[in-house]
Amino acid sequence: MPPTFAQLGVPESICRALERSGIHKPFEIQSAVIADAMEGRDICGRAPTGSGKTLAFGIPLIANVGQARPRRPRALILSPTRELAEQIASELRSISGPVTVAAVYGGVGYTNQRKQLQRGVDILVACPGRLEDLIDQQSVSLHEADQVVIDEADRMADMGFLPAVRRILDQTAAQRQTVMFSATLDDDVAKLTRHYQDRPITHEVGDATPDILSADHRFWTVEKSERVAACVDVIAAAGSAIVFCRTRHGSDRLARQLSQRGVNAAAIHGGHAQNRRTRTLKEFTDGRVEALVATDVAARGIHVDSVACVIHFDPPEDHKAYLHRSGRTARAGQTGLVVSLVQTGQHADAQKIQRQLGLNQPITSPDSIDGNTAPPRRRRPSQPPAADRADRKPNGSHQARHDRPDRQTNNRGGKKSNRKPQGRNQHRSRRKPRSGASSR
Ligand code: ADP
Ligand code: MG
């Protein structure tokens, strides 16, 4: 029997908030991580997308975080993208009670972010670029942040944020808890672990290659001029899709072409203002937009429930990009369809990607998508119904690996195994929310 949240040491008030959100039993990565994180241990976690990592690191933060003074957050969560930062903040706010949570990221004005920081933010969710700007402007200091989470560390590395992440970590409290999550634990992530974590416990769930095989992968030969029509057919059969393009311009053009053919399509990319991107994403999760046409960068870290289908309209850069893109469907153990549109001259590249991922699919002319393989059209509210959420189970088996202390270097020199973060169980007894601060 898996433990309950309460058995993992989660304070009752948080358990109740989880219940209200329709979350009754911990997912596997949550069972693995929460108890250790509640004790203040450093953790390095790997689990596939959709396996519930946000609450795995978020619940212990909410339970343990100290109360922040103005401009001095006590906990920091680093996120590679704005969308992910917003998603993390809103998921945590739904269970945070009196603990204040705010997100800061680029593409929007500074004024509100500065005001929030000035009021005091216990848990700050931040993208590296904007956070460094705010630090430079002395709108925030990280010296009192003694709980730090790096989410999607592999994407952080892919997007070139590691130097910024290092500079940021160097400014957080020397005695701190550092928790890192990633879909892969490769070299870059291992380096971060060596330099910034103290005898971390590694928890790994699922296969090292994210649940790629639970989706139905098709590779179709489609020449350039036929790609839009092929896309329209796939979206009509699958119901909703994220369609990947190489460039911003290409995404805008494809969204237009799809709209002209009667598909509700919208582009999402870094050239759009943040409020537009947020709106587009919401329209997609609400089902008002059926096709989200995205560049790789815009799509990183977006969590959308039940995308029926991913279409590689332009080929991915490499097998890692194929995985990241395809991981938008078949999340949390659901099935999904992944269609690659491959032009004649691109077959060799597609086959190379297949080889690297252990996929073995013939490249065929477009075939029909029958109801068995493509999930039914789903139009879901952005917040899935409670019963549905509780039923979802990510797949994979869990192993914990306690890293041998003698192999770990610790740049902070301090020993902190007995350190318990302050404020444990404050959740129940803590201060009343400052006016309006905790519920937004
Ligand atoms: P990851 O970060 O691993 O990709 P998320 O943390 O975004 O995954 O979680 C995926 C989805 O699963 C979210 O919609 C989240 O609310 C939901 N979820 C998380 N934990 C549970 C749980 N224990 N029971 C039911 N749903 C959950
Ligand atoms: Mg996540």
Kindly report, residue by residue over 264-321, the tens digit of the pLDDT: 999 998 888 777 887 888 899 888 999 999 998 776 656 565 688 999 999 999 988 8
Q: Directed axis angle between helix 347-357 and helix 319-326, to 10°?
A: 70
Q: How many Å lie between the centroid of ligand 1 and the Cα of residue 338?
A: 22
> With a 6 A CB cut-off, is 53 part of the ligand 1 pocket?
yes
**CATH architecture of the domain with residue range 12-204:** 3-Layer(aba) Sandwich (3.40)
Beta bridge partners of 341: 220
- Over the chain (440 residues), what is each successive 10-residue block's mean pLDDT? 92 96 95 95 88 95 96 97 92 96 95 98 97 98 98 83 95 97 82 94 76 81 96 93 95 97 93 82 89 83 71 93 80 75 96 89 83 37 38 45 38 38 37 34
> With a 6 A CB cut-off, is 332 part of the ligand 1 pocket?
yes
Q: Where in the chain is the domain with CATH 3.40.50.300?
A: 12-204, 212-388
> With a 6 A CB cut-off, is 313 part of the ligand 1 pocket?
no
Q: How many Å lie between the centroid of ligand 2 and the Cα of residue 51?
A: 8
Q: How many Å lie between the centroid of ligand 1 and the Cα of residue 59?
A: 12
E-only strand ranges, 60-150: 75-78, 101-104, 123-126, 147-150
Q: How many Å lie between the centroid of ligand 2 and the Cα of residue 347?
A: 32
Residue nearest ligand 1's atom 17 by CA: 52
Beta bridge partners of 363: 219
> With a 6 A CB cut-off, is 324 part of the ligand 1 pocket?
no
Give the ligand with the smallest distance to the CA of 385.
1
Start-to-end C-alpha separation, the chain? 36
Question: What is the C-alpha separation between 303 and 52, in angstroms, rounded?
Answer: 11
pLDDT value of residue 300: 64
Residue nearest ligand 1's atom 14 by CA: 305
Beta bridge partners of 244: 294, 312
pLDDT, tens only, 273-282? 777 887 888 8
> With a 6 A CB cut-off, is 81 part of the ligand 1 pocket?
no
**3-class state of residue 338 by DSSP:** strand
C-beta atoms surrounding 371 within 10 Å: 9
Beta bridge partners of 102: 124
Question: What is the C-alpha separation between 326 and 305, in angstroms, rounded?
Answer: 14
Residue 335 near residue 372 (C-beta atoms within 8 A): no
> With a 6 A CB cut-off, is 237 part of the ligand 1 pocket?
no
**3-class state of residue 265 by DSSP:** strand
**CATH architecture of the domain with residue range 212-388:** 3-Layer(aba) Sandwich (3.40)
